[in-house]
Structure 1
């Protein structure tokens, strides 16, 4: 959770920082300023998730600041001592609104609501991923191709159809093949996923990317896991269960 704070009252920034630290939400305050003009220049350069934005500020109020930004790819939580700004805040598509002095329990509730909303957004993105995969299957079938993986002396070419699954090993990825071999490469699983998602591989967990061709069984018990054709059991994260179920439900109907 990358947080930015813009408030012309420095003591309000400090108070909000202390409350966030008390809540221990795993956040990072990547930008804070009491000067709205500085925020106008710096915010477009940053990857912000939530902006806590004061309304009443000299030279440029919070609403005017947002109006002058070319792109707003973060959620805004307005903070102000004046409740009459609430309606205008929501008209400006604010995620939420907090009255000063900010109550720490209200702050906690707002941020928990934000986290829930992020999960919903993730679900919608996964639904889009399912539709894209199904479209590829319908139009192209299971694509047969090769990918190049780095070796000490150059590259090795692997058939994507021979890959059972990939497992994260911190900044490395171990690729398991249907021959029983495995290859350890110096790429993160996220990088490997960018390549293999074009060949209908599914991310079922933060540590696992599978080839559905070799999926033998999905079991909902014990938190959810799959069994691959080689007999190995792999966990399915709670966030990815619906993706796996929906994918195969639609496959079975087509």
Structure 2
């Protein structure tokens, strides 16, 4: 686990580092940056799995990191006193928003969400960000028909018939997408429930979902009952 902390207050940065080490024990690489510029440079040069980000960095706006790196394949946990920014943060796909002052149990709860989608916040992800030609493009989640896994990336199949490549894996996106709107139907597919029209039973005990546009996607046998219950 590679973790970066961007926090300008040394005391808080040390607390975050200590708690993070306590949670992950020896299974991590941890670095701390105290300015926006240092943080941006580090992320551009070094892959990370988790970013712990303050929103006020010596007067600089931490959201600049989100805007510049929003398509990068890591999870972001905001640690900030600016709780009025929480809804905006979740709309851009952060894993959690930990308000200051915080304690160890609250930070551990945020880390626990990496493996437990049911504990995700109620604020729905509104946008999926893709980087194309050096430009960040924000795509409304409601305009996605389905998402197909493509190795460490994901293909977004949109309602207008176009496709976009997202830098996060299918597993990573599953953590962020609201379970009320999206469902994993197969190891390679996540479907927008509003676009799922029929659940089909095929010869040989195979299953598929037919979308409103007529496309059919395979359904994993172990997921059939959950999908049937959600589509009723």
Higher relative strand content: 2
Structure scoring higher RCO (CA < 8 A, sep ≥ 6) equals 2
